[in-house]
């Protein structure tokens, strides 16, 4: 007769095979490209089913209830299905910097990250790697790891996957980039983004509630809930105002919001001659004022133009200059 451990191991293996089968005809994102990533085909995200990761690090540039004092345990995945040409992480989303990790290698590196005392595990650009992430999350929980899991998303998601994700993920940090369908099409080639993002955010508000506990000092880290991020784009104030209007109307001003000023034009912006400058101070202040006028109170406002120390260079050993060198038992 099989032992309990064997039974658990068999069940975990079966769940892993079932999860990985989602790559056979990939439909993990709204692109629904249907390629067989398990056979080495590359999806619109630019990736096969060989999991590739650009960085695994304690990151201090997130909002205070996410970074806390010890940092957020971020796993930056390679590739992206959104394809925004202005992506601030273009080195990994479009140039596909990263290294291939097996399930065991990913698990071991994440355990080493946990040993540094991070407050949570933060999956960045996760949608197209959900099978790997789900296997990792279940394995960590089975080993007694109960740190919050964070879904750090572009907001380009399908609501039909959210029920699965809500069963394993504790904190959701989706972007809501575009309320303007024409702008979404110009930037990422899909005018459906505004509707998809808003529908997903509304579903998450119902399923997991708002980010809690709420503490803007970094002394107490969040353990559950939703916070929406919005990056103000140069020359696109009306888009930002509509984003806030939609959130206030559909969810309400109790929703936590992080309003970001950190946009920097990447090389593709210059080639296109679009979004090829920084956000003006007056543009950002106008959006901040609208946020206040709508009655939002749980908000994070960045310093105007953000902090260059947290603009990433994923070709460097330390992608974020603002992060302190690793210390403790997992330090190299």
Give residue-wise pLDDT tens across range 220-268: 999 999 999 999 999 999 999 999 999 999 999 999 999 999 999 999 9
Could you tell me if residue 216 is inside a domain?
A: yes
DSSP character at residue 324: P
Residue the block writes with tokens 């020359």: 235
121 part of a folded domain: yes
Which of helix, strand or coil describes residue 23?
helix
- Report residue 28 as tokens: 């993990």
Domain annotation covers residue 100 = yes
Q: Which residues contact 183 (CB under 8 A, 6 or more apart)?
A: 236, 239
Residue 115 placed within a domain: yes
Give a yes or no: residue 327 inside a domain: no
SS3 category, 159: helix
Report the CATH number at residue 259.
Answer: 3.20.20.70
Whether the model pTM is above 0.85:
yes
**Series of mean pLDDT values for 10-residue runs along the chain (332 residues):** 60 80 97 98 97 95 95 97 94 92 98 97 97 98 97 95 95 98 98 98 98 94 98 98 98 97 94 96 97 97 70 78 60 35
In a domain, 91, yes or no: yes
- Beta 99-100 vs 52-59: how paired, if at all? antiparallel
- End-to-end CA distance of the chain: give it in Å, rounded: 44
Is 128 contained in some domain?
A: yes
Domain containing 56 equals 18-310
pLDDT in tens, 79-111: 999 999 999 999 999 998 899 999 999 999 999
Residue 190 located in a structural domain: yes
Work out how many domains the chain is built from and give that number: 1
């Amino acid at each position: 007769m099989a032992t309990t451990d064997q039974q658990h191991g068999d069940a975990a293996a079966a769940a892993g095979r079932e999860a990985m089968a989602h790559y056979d005809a990939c439909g993990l994102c709204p692109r629904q490209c249907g390629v067989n990533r398990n056979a080495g085909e590359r999806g619109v995200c630019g990736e096969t089913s060989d999991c590739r990761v650009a960085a695994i690090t304690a990151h201090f540039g997130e909002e205070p209830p996410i970074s806390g004092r010890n940092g957020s345990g971020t796993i930056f995945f390679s590739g992206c299905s959104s394809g925004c040409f202005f992506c601030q992480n273009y080195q990994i989303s479009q140039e596909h910097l990263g290294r291939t990790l097996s399930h065991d290698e990913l698990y071991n590196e994440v355990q080493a990250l946990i040993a540094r005392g991070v407050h949570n595990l933060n999956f960045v650009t996760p949608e197209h790697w959900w099978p790997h992430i789900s296997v990792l999350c279940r394995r960590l929980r089975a080993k007694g790891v109960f740190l919050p899991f964070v879904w750090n998303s572009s907001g380009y998601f399908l609501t039909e996957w959210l029920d699965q994700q809500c069963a394993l993920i504790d904190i959701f940090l989706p972007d809501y980039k575009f309320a303007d369908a024409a702008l979404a099409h110009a930037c990422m080639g899909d005018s459906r983004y505004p509707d998809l993002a808003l529908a997903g955010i509304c579903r998450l508000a119902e399923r997991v509630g708002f980010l809690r506990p709420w503490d803007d000092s970094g002394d107490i880290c969040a353990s559950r809930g939703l916070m929406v991020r919005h990056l103000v784009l140069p020359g696109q104030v009306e888009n930002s105002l509509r984003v806030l209007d939609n959130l206030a109307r559909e969810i309400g001003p109790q929703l936590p919001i992080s309003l970001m000023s950190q946009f920097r034009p990447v090389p593709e912006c210059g080639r296109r001659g679009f979004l090829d400058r920084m956000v003006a101070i007056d543009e950002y202040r106008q959006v901040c004022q609208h946020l206040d006028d709508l009655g939002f109170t749980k908000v994070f406002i960045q310093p105007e133009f953000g902090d260059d120390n947290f603009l990433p260079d994923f070709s460097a050993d330390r992608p974020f200059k603002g992060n302190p060198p690793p210390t403790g038992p997992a330090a190299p």
